[in-house]
């Protein structure tokens, strides 16, 4: 699924911080994890992750160090910092509010829709393009 | 980089990765550490794709595609690292080998600068103060800084003993000549000599600067570039120094202490001398890091000067007003030709000699021709009245310099037009300019040493 640019920008910080909160990681593995967790729905352009990582590093939310991959290649690993955890908590709170609100709105709309036109309710639920 | 980890990694794949890396490295906002990070990503992606059954070249294409368009990527990097778009003059590079050399160079430059500062006060040891023996200082203007600057470059370039002997001899001859000649104190010829000697000796600095490359066009061109940048850096340092001394005078005055004498006797002369060497060192240290300023200024002002000169010529034609014959006017025209020559030189110094002629080249030709025309009008007016005016040393020196510059620009215009019409090479113009350098020095030496005899040391 194509996720809009604004939404990608807004969600990348909590996603990256959450993944690093589970343990140190590096760029490729972070992207792989995002793909897995979203069931392949979120597809970031690979290169775009790195400016995000660098921004988080500049803000002090994560810390980078050069290490070696299992094959001996130079690899940059990232670790979440205390400030990053605090920021993640804050983000989580905000997203929860947004999430609850949207569920509330969309829940009631869907109910409203399914109630008023009793005829052909299936059309609304059917995937588009069929 | 280790390529053992990808068994499928054959020669072509490594080549392609190297090409991709080189392409990425060219982006200003993407630094080499980022390239390493992204390359690790690319390789991991490729090995995962080849593991899934793709051929190496297919895997490379997919991995690059997933990485995203380089333009967008470098734009994102630039947004995060906007500071990188400003090239910084890093005086301590991270490379440890170059680090030691830069540091040693900086310390040496500081030593030579202090030497120049001290040299200014050497005459005081012999009881000659700036106030009481102004004449001594005027004559020896060239010898406070230039020998030390020459020594700095001789040390830096490890100039051979034969060249060192020649450099020392040049300074010795000049120093003896100017101090032995029986000038009338603060007379015309003395001032002329003091003004022209630095021009002549600047060539000696050039020999030291270019060292073994002095005979080559490129070596001399580098010296021309160095001179222009040095001038700009010196002006900037002087501006900074002005701000500093201004505040210093004010804050000390606030507690009722006047520092004027200290300024005039010590701070300003010593720092002005030392700053030449510091500026030289800065130009050398930053030459590959920061864009050269002189060509940028030349490019900026070439159209404007051309416009002003054409407007002047049109005004002359329309109104028919004669040019006033005064020494100041002659000197002004000398300055004008020097500025035009400078713009020509610094535009040339930044130009790719193999590039085709462009509109800017045409503008250069227009500028030079317009300057020549304006100067020719002035010279014509002067020639018609030279008999009644008589030839004073000043007038002759100004006229001589004018002719030296005029000849250079005239032949430059010829060569430039030839190049524009595809009948000559740009390199010929460069060769002409670099070969001409000794002519300025020779004329300056004639004014400094021969003129006093001719005019009886007035």
Structural domain contains residue A91: yes
First-residue to last-residue Cα distance in chain B: 74
B contacts of A75 (beta carbons < 8 Å) = 37, 40
Q: What count of CB pairs under 8 Å joins A to B?
A: 67
Q: Does A47 touch chain B (CB under 8 A)?
A: yes
> Residue B2 above 50 pLDDT?
no
Distance (Å, whole) CA B404 – CA B437: 11
Quote the ipTM score.
Answer: 0.74
Structural domain contains residue A121: no
Residue B50 φ then ψ, to 5°: -65, -35
Q: What CATH number did the domain enclosing A47 receive?
A: 1.10.10.10
Q: DSSP states of A90-116 as a string?
A: HHHHHHHHHHHHHHHHHHHHHHHHHHS
Pick the residue from chain A with its C-alpha nearest to B62: A46
Distance to chain B for A129, nearest Cα, Å: 27
List of residues 6+ apart from B193 with CB closer than 8 A:
B139, B178, B181, B183, B447, B448, B449, B451, B452
User: What is the extent of the structural domain holding A23?
Assistant: 5-116
**B118-167: pLDDT as tens digits:** 998 888 888 787 777 878 888 888 899 999 999 999 999 888 899 999 99
**Residue among A37, A30, A35 nearest A16 (CA):** A30
Q: DSSP states of B305-360 as a string?
A: HHHHHHHHHHHHHHH-PPPP--HHHHHHHHHHHHHHHHHHHHHHHTS-TTSPP-HH
Structural domain contains residue A123: no
CB atoms < 10 A from the CB of B193, how many?
Answer: 31
List of residues 6+ apart from B393 with CB closer than 8 A:
B188, B189, B192, B451, B454, B455, B458
Partner-chain residue, chosen from B1, B38, B76, that has the shortest CB–CB distance to A73: B1
In angstroms, how far is CA A51 from the centroid of its own chain? Answer: 16
**pLDDT, averaged across chain B:** 86
Contact B40 A26 (CB under 8 A): yes
**B4-59: pLDDT as tens digits:** 444 444 578 888 888 888 888 877 778 888 888 889 999 999 999 999 999 988 89
In chain B, the percentage of residues whose pLDDT exceeds 90 is 46
CB atoms < 10 A from the CB of B322, how many?
Answer: 10
Q: Based on the structure, what is the number of domains in chain A?
A: 1
Interval B324-348 mean pLDDT: 88
Q: Does A56 touch chain B (CB under 8 A)?
A: no
> Interface of chain B against chain A, CB under 8 Å?
1-2, 4-5, 33-34, 36-38, 40-41, 43-45, 66-68, 72-73, 76-77, 79-81
Distance (Å, whole) CA B354 – CA B378: 36
The domain locations on chain B are: 11-85, 103-290, 293-424
Structural domain contains residue A127: no
In chain B, the percentage of residues whose pLDDT exceeds 70 is 93
List of residues 6+ apart from B247 with CB closer than 8 A:
none
Pick the residue from chain B with its C-alpha nearest to A68: B40
A contacts of B37 (beta carbons < 8 Å) = 27, 50, 75-76
B contacts of A58 (beta carbons < 8 Å) = 80
Structural domain contains residue A16: yes
Distance to chain B for A63, nearest Cα, Å: 15
Pick the residue from chain A with its C-alpha nearest to B40: A75
**A98-111: pLDDT as tens digits:** 999 999 998 876 65
Structural domain contains residue A34: yes
pTM listed for this prediction: 0.70
């Amino acid at each position: 699924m194509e996720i809009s640019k604004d939404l990608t920008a807004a969600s990348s910080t909590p996603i990256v911080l959450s993944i690093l909160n589970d343990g140190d990681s590096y760029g490729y593995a972070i992207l792989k994890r995002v793909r897995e967790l979203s069931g392949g729905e979120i597809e970031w352009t690979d290169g775009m992750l790195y400016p995000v990582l660098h921004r988080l590093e500049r803000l002090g939310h994560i810390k980078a160090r050069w290490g070696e991959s299992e094959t001996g290649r130079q690899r940059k690993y990232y670790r979440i910092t205390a400030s990053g955890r605090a920021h993640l908590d804050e983000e989580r709170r905000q997203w929860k509010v947004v999430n609850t609100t949207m569920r509330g709105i969309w829940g009631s709309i869907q109910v409203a829709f399914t109630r008023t036109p009793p005829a052909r309710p299936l059309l609304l639920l059917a995937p588009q393009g069929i | 980089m280790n390529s053992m980890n990808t068994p499928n990694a054959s020669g072509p794949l490594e080549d392609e990765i190297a090409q991709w890396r080189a392409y990425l490295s060219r982006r200003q906002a993407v630094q080499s550490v980022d390239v390493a990070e992204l390359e690790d990503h690319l390789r991991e992606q490729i090995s995962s794709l080849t593991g899934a059954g793709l051929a190496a070249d297919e895997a490379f294409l997919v991995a690059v595609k997933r990485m995203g368009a380089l333009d967008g990527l470098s734009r994102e990097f630039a947004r995060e690292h906007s500071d990188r778009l400003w090239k910084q003059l890093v005086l301590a590079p991270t490379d440890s080998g170059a680090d030691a050399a830069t540091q040693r160079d900086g310390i040496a430059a500081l030593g030579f600068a202090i030497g120049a500062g001290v040299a200014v006060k050497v005459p005081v040891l012999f009881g000659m103060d700036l106030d009481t023996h102004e004449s001594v200082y005027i004559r020896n203007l060239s010898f406070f800084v230039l020998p030390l600057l020459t020594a700095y470059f001789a040390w830096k370039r490890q100039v051979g003993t034969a060249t060192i002997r020649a450099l020392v001899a040049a300074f010795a001859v000049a120093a003896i000549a100017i101090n032995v000649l029986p000038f009338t104190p603060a007379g015309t010829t003395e001032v002329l000599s003091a003004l022209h000697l630095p021009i002549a000796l600047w060539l000696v600095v050039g020999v030291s600067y270019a060292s073994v490359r002095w005979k080559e066009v490129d070596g001399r061109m580098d010296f021309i570039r160095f001179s222009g940048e040095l001038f700009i850096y010196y002006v900037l340092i002087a501006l900074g120094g002005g701000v500093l001394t201004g505040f210093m005078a004010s804050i000390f005055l606030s507690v009722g202490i006047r520092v004027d004498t200290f300024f005039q006797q010590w701070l300003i002369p010593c720092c002005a001398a030392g700053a030449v060497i510091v500026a030289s060192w800065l130009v050398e240290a930053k030459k590959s890091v920061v864009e050269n300023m002189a060509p940028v200024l030349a490019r900026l002002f070439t159209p404007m000067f051309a416009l002003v000169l054409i407007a002047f010529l049109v005004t002359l034609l329309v109104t028919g007003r004669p040019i006033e014959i005064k020494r100041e006017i002659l000197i002004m025209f000398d300055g004008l030709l020097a500025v035009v020559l400078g713009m020509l030189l610094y535009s040339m110094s930044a130009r790719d000699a193999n590039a085709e002629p462009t509109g800017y080249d045409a503008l250069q030709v227009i500028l030079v021709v317009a300057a020549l025309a304006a100067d020719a009008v002035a010279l014509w007016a002067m020639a018609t009245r030279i008999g009644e005016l008589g030839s004073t040393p000043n007038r002759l020196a100004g006229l001589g310099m004018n002719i030296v510059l005029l000849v250079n620009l005239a032949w430059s215009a010829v060569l430039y037009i030839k190049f524009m019409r595809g009948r000559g090479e740009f390199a010929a113009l460069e060769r002409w300019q670099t070969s001409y350098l000794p002519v300025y020095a020779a004329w300056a030496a004639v004014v400094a040493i021969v003129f006093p005899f001719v005019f009886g040391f007035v």
